[in-house]
Every structure is written in C-alpha cells, then in structure tokens.
Amino acid sequence: MSGYLGSYATLGLLIVVGALVFVGAFSANRLLSPSAPNPAPDKYRNYECGLDPVGGDWAQAQIRYYLYAFLYVLFAVESVFLFPWAVIYDRPEFGASAVVEMGIFVAVLALGLLYAWRKRVLRWT
C-alpha cells in the first residue's frame, strides 16, 4: 500500500469490515429466527421503556427551538473567526484596520440579532 490514495487503505478496510459485520448480523438473524413468527398482536407494537406508547409518533417541536438554535449557531461560528483574530490583531502591521474590520464583521452579525429582536423573535411567549 503506497501512493497518495494508499493512506486511505485502512479507512477502506474499516468500511469493508463494517459492511461485512452488518450483513453477517442480519444474515445470522434471518437464518436463526423461526420461519413463522409469533402471531400475537403485541409483537408489532412500538416498545418504549417498558411502557405502552401514548399518542402518535409524529410530534411537532416548538419552532422557537429552531430559531434559538439558529441564532446560537450564528454566534458560535462568529467565535470561530474571532479566536484567530484575537491572536494576531496586535501585531504591528495589523492594528487599527484589523480592529475596524472585525468590528464590521461583528456588526453585520449583530444586525441579524437586531433584526430578530425587532421582529420579536426573541420573546418566548
């Protein structure tokens, strides 16, 4: 195993092994299980923590979770950019312009937050 793609050989091997295990497990199941399964109705019921299921399995999540998650991601990504900037902004040739540029960057992101706030997205009820 050599060459550029050779370093992926281990990964490829892992995928092959995984597939074999998967196929093997299901084949073993098929081979070992009785050919006529238990006809009792409970056999086909959803099973959850030893309790009978309540209600349908389609549940709607609150849309606000989505919005908050969205706003969170915005600033999480921002911090990814802020960190390397914080390391170098005080270097001699960077200085003021770097601060201003990052200020603009943060301001643009803040603009989104501002918009969300004005549109009353941040109010939980």
Partner 1 sequence: MTIAQDALQLPHLNYGALAPMLILFGAAAVGVLIEAFVPRRSRYALQLVLGLGALVAALIVVITESGTRELTAGAAIALDGPALFLQGSLAALGIVALLLIAERTLEPGGPFVAAAAVTAGTEEDRTQAAREDAGTEVYPLLLFALGGMMLFVSANDLLTMFVALEVFSLPLYLMCGLARRRRLLSQESAMKYFLLGSFASAFFLFGIAMLYGFSGQISFAGIHSAIQTSTQSTTLLYIGLALVALGLLFKAAAAPFHVWIPDVYQGAPTPITAFMSACTKVAAFGALIRVLYVAFQGTDWDFRPVIGAIAVLTMLVGSILSVTQTDIKRLLAYSSIANAGYILVGVLGLSKDGLSSTLFYLVTYGFTVIAAFGVVTLVRDADGEATHLSRWAGLGRRSPLYAGLFTFLMLAFAGIPLTSGFTGKFAVFAAAIGGGQSWLVVFGVVSSMILAFPYLRVVVMMWLSEPGESTPTVSIPGALTSATLAIGGLATLVLGVVPAPLLDLTNHAAQFIR
Residues in 4-33 at the binding interface with partner 1, rule: CB under 8 A:
4-5
Beta strands in 32-118 (DSSP E): none
Residue 98 touching partner 1 (CB under 8 A): yes
Of 21 and 111, the one with the shorter C-beta distance to partner 1 is: 111
Of 48 and 101, the one with the shorter C-beta distance to partner 1 is: 101
With b meaning 16 or more CB within 10 Å and e meaning fewer, what string describes 18-57? eeeeeeeeeeeeeeeeeeeeeeeeeeeeeeeeeeeeeeee
**Residue from 65, 93, 96, 125 in contact with partner 1 (CB under 8 A):** 93
Number of residues that bind partner 1 (CB under 8 A): 18
DSSP 46-80: --BTTB---S-S--PPPHHHHHHHHHHHHHHHHHH
Residues near partner 1, by CB under 8 A:
3-5, 87-88, 91, 93-94, 97-98, 108, 111-112, 114-115, 117-119
